[in-house]
């Protein structure tokens, strides 16, 4: 237990160092009445820098070393001659390159004078930090579960070992306590998706807590696509019994059916919407709270506030490790519930009393 606390404390201190480097580079300079310059820490800018997407992967800064990984810029503009690919390092120090400029991660075309040319349409297909993190997490997931599959073949008929021994109870839990209970006998065809969603969200939640990690599951575009995928699978899998209850609820009077119909249709949309917002809001809020506690050190400019800020930050990091797993569980559970309602078979004849 003590070793785990030490590791988490080290991660948190690395995060503080990363934020300190960012703060020193991005402080605002203001003129005081005395004529002296004073640096002002901007917590909002610091927090947004860490949770928002970007065209470079910033790790940490020191006075002599900047650990930043440049990412590919891929832009298309018919007026600029088509596709253009170059490194994001070309935009260092707010410089323009190849007829393009960047401001607050928005890439735009520039004219001969170096000013933004709003008449030129620019389409950005760049590999951003979140996209790079998505690729990284996919590689990790594929590698891990190839090892798990290899373990099943190697230890056939034997007790699991290695990576397999860690993940097998989790896979079994998702199968028995989520898929089987929420979906029923037809659970098997949904297992690949449920396991993918669970481990994708869990792994990326954990990666987002690492110093320099990307806030992938706190990006609403990512949670939107997860929710849309769940919606599509639910819609395609829906049987006649499911659609009958959605579009023409049996067992209720005709006038009430007309009232229920739009409510049921709206419910089809609100279910994936709730999935999207729940994951996005919880992960983003956790990151903001941790960064806010660490930012107090630089706001108060006092070493005395550091133990309190680090203590609260460490507590929130522990809590976020738990939330990372809980959010993966909740998303998978609700997804399984939606699948279960779509494939459920009626156990008895519905008695239609509507006229």
Q: How many CB atoms lie within 10 A of CB 124?
A: 17
Average pLDDT score over residue span 37-45:
67
Residues 100, 102, 108, 110: what is their CA dihedral angle, to the nearest 10 degrees?
A: -50
pLDDT greater than 80 at residue 31? no
Say if CB 57 and CB 214 are below 8 A apart: yes
Structure tokens at 120: 């030129």
pLDDT at 233 over 50: yes
Name every residue whose Cβ is closer than 8 Å to that of residue 117 and which is 6 or more positions away in sequence.
108, 109, 110, 111
Is 204 exposed, middle or buried (CB count within 10 Å of its CB: 0-12, 13-18, 19+)?
Answer: buried
**296 alpha carbon, distance to own chain's centre:** 25
**What is the predicted pLDDT for the residue at 24?**
46
Task: List, for residues 213-227, the tens digit of each pLDDT value.
Answer: 889 999 999 999 999
Structure confidence at residue 71 (pLDDT): 92
pLDDT of residue 77: 92
At 63, is the pLDDT very low, low, confident or very high (cuts 50, 70, 90)? low
Q: Is the pLDDT of residue 350 over 50?
A: no
pLDDT at 30 over 90: no
CA separation for the pair 12, 314 (Å, rounded): 7
What gap in Å lies between CA 310 and CA 300, rounded to an integer?
Answer: 14
Phi, psi of 31 (to 5 degrees): -95, 125
pLDDT at 203 over 50: yes
Alpha-carbon distance of 330 to 178, in angstroms, equals 10
> With contact defined as beta carbons under 8 Å apart, do 298 and 20 qualify?
yes
Look at residue 127 and tell me whether its pLDDT is greater than 70: yes
Whether 50 contacts 68, CB under 8 Å: no
The average confidence (pLDDT) of the chain is: 83
Average pLDDT of span 119-134: 93
* Residue 195 pLDDT class (50, 70, 90 cuts): very high
Least confident residue range of 5-19, 147-161, 232-246, 319-333: 5-19
User: Residue 255: which pLDDT band, with cuts at 50, 70 and 90?
Assistant: confident
How much is the pLDDT for 176? 94
pLDDT tens per residue, range 272-322 = 999 999 999 999 999 898 888 888 887 887 777 888 888 888 888 889 999
More reliable by pLDDT, 183 or 66: 183
Q: How far apart are CA 201 and CA 250, in angstroms?
A: 38
Confidence at 352, pLDDT banded by 50, 70, 90: very low
Q: How confident is the model at residue 164 (pLDDT cuts 50, 70, 90)?
A: confident
pLDDT of 141-158, one tens digit each?
999 999 998 888 888 878
Q: 211 or 77, which is more confident?
A: 77
Model confidence band, residue 7 (pLDDT cutoffs 50, 70, 90) = low
Q: Mean pLDDT across the stretch 78-100? A: 88
pLDDT of residue 10: 53
**Dihedral, CA atoms, 115, 117, 122, 124, nearest 10 degrees?**
20
Q: What is the DSSP string of 188-254?
A: GGGHHHHHHHHHHHHHHHHHHTSTT---STT-HHHHHHHHHHHHHHHHHH--HHHHHHHHS-TTS-H
Instruction: Check residue 257 and give its pLDDT.
Output: 80
Q: What is the mean pLDDT of residues 124-141?
A: 94
Residue ranges of E strands in the chain: 28-31, 37-40, 56-61, 66-70, 72-77, 82-87, 100-103, 106-109, 123-124
Q: State the average pLDDT over residues 125-132.
A: 93
Per DSSP bridges, beta strands 72-77 and 66-70 are unpaired
């Amino acid at each position: 237990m003590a070793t785990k606390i030490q590791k988490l404390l080290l991660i948190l201190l690395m995060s503080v160092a990363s934020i300190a480097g960012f703060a020193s580079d991005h402080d605002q300079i203001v003129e005081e009445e005395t004529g002296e310059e004073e640096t002002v820490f901007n917590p909002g800018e610091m927090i947004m820098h860490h949770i928002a997407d970007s065209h470079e992967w910033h790790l940490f800064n020191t006075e002599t070393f900047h650990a930043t990984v440049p990412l590919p810029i891929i832009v298309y503009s018919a007026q600029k001659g088509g596709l253009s690919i170059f490194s994001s390092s070309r935009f260092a120090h707010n410089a323009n390159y190849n007829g393009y400029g960047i401001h607050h991660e928005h890439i735009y075309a520039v004219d001969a004078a170096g000013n933004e040319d709003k008449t030129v349409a620019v389409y950005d297909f760049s590999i951003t930090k979140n996209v790079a993190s998505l690729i990284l997490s996919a590689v990790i997931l594929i590698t891990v579960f190839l090892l798990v599959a290899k373990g099943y073949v190697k230890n056939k008929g034997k007790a699991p070992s290695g990576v397999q021994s860690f993940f097998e109870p989790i896979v079994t839990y998702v199968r028995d306590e989520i898929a089987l209970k929420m979906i029923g006998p037809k659970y098997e065809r949904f297992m690949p998706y449920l396991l993918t969603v669970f481990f994708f969200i869990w792994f990326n939640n954990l990666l987002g807590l690492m110093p320099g990690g990307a806030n992938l599951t706190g990006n609403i575009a990512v949670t939107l696509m997860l929710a849309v995928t769940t919606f599509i699978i639910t819609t395609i899998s829906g049987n006649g019994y499911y659609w009958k209850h959605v579009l023409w609820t049996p067992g209720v009077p005709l006038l009430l059916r007309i009232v229920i119909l739009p409510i049921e249709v709206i419910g089809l949309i609100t279910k994936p919407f709730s999935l999207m917002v729940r994951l996005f809001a919880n992960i983003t809020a956790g990151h903001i709270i941790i960064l806010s506690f660490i930012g107090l050190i630089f706001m108060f400019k006092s070493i005395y506030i550091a133990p309190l800020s680090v203590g609260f930050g460490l507590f929130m990091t522990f809590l976020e490790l738990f939330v990372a797993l809980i959010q993966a569980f909740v998303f998978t559970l609700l997804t399984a519930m939606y699948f279960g309602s779509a494939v459920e078979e009626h156990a008895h004849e519905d008695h239609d009393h509507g006229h």
